Amino acid sequence: MTQMSLPALTTVSAKPSMMSALFGGSSGKTMPRMNEPVPGLAIPDPPVVPATAPHTIVTTLANGAKIASEDTAGASLAVGMYIASGSKNETGFTTGSSHLLERMAFKATMHRTTFRVTREAEVIGANLLASASREQMAYTVDCLKTNLPEAIELLADTVMNPKLHDHEVADVATALKLEMAELAANPANLLMEAVHAVAFEGGLGLPLVATGGALARLDGDTLAHFVSTNYTAPNVVLAASGCGHAELVALAEPLLAQVRIYIQHK
């Protein structure tokens, strides 16, 4: 019986490359067949899996703010600031603030323009994300471990020192109105809003999605009032995965120590 070999696994004579055919010269080394290792190619060892799962370490600062971390393996880290504030904390005057603050995240601060915030995030290759819920606001930064100091400083500034320019608030509110109009066209998108309104009275029953009337009323001063009332130190947790706890505390404590403990009324 004659044994036939697959064409892909047989030795093939080297053919000149397109560049060598056009300009002359050698076609270079012939690569080995698909079932043979590449000479001189060093395959790195896989990362070592820790024998035990990383432990969560929590430090509570004098003003009540908390810093939590897990030193997970890998080249990247995730760090976030979580505020115990959401739509359940809103009043008739501030309703819709959480939803609008989500869209106002990582814009101008007291120390940075919106362009500078974006540029600094691009320089360290960071991914910025903010989300609002009924009980919590979350602001997160994903980047390489080597950029932890920059990520912490940028995160703390954008969360605790938002400028909330009226013109930026108006632009974001206008875009949000268009999104809300599209959602209203399909009632299924607002089903969870209706469920919470029926299940709870006040608090968790308050709307998370900003209404058109709320967006028309909200401005920079109203959002600043909501932030000053709810973004207080006991409501703040800074958590990171992928860094040492001592390093995280050393970087974050001077920034979070400036967060006020009590509600500041304007």
Q: What 3-state DSSP class applies to 3?
A: coil
Q: Which residue among the candidates 36, 70, 90, 102 is catalytic per the annotation?
A: 102
DSSP 67: E
Residue type present at position 126: A
CB-count burial class (<10 Å; 0-12, 13-18, 19+) for 224: middle
Phi, psi of 182 (to 5 degrees): -70, -40
164-188: burial string, b at 16+ Cβ within 10 Å, e else:
bbeebbeebbeebeeebeeeeeeee
Please tell me the distance from the alpha carbon of residue 90 to that of residue 55, in angstroms, as a whole number: 35
Which residues make Cβ contacts (< 8 Å) with residue 32, sequence separation at least 6? 38, 39
Cα-based distances in Å from 31 to 20, 40, 44, 95: 16, 12, 21, 66
102 is catalytic: yes
Q: What amino acid positions are annotated as catalytic residues?
A: 102
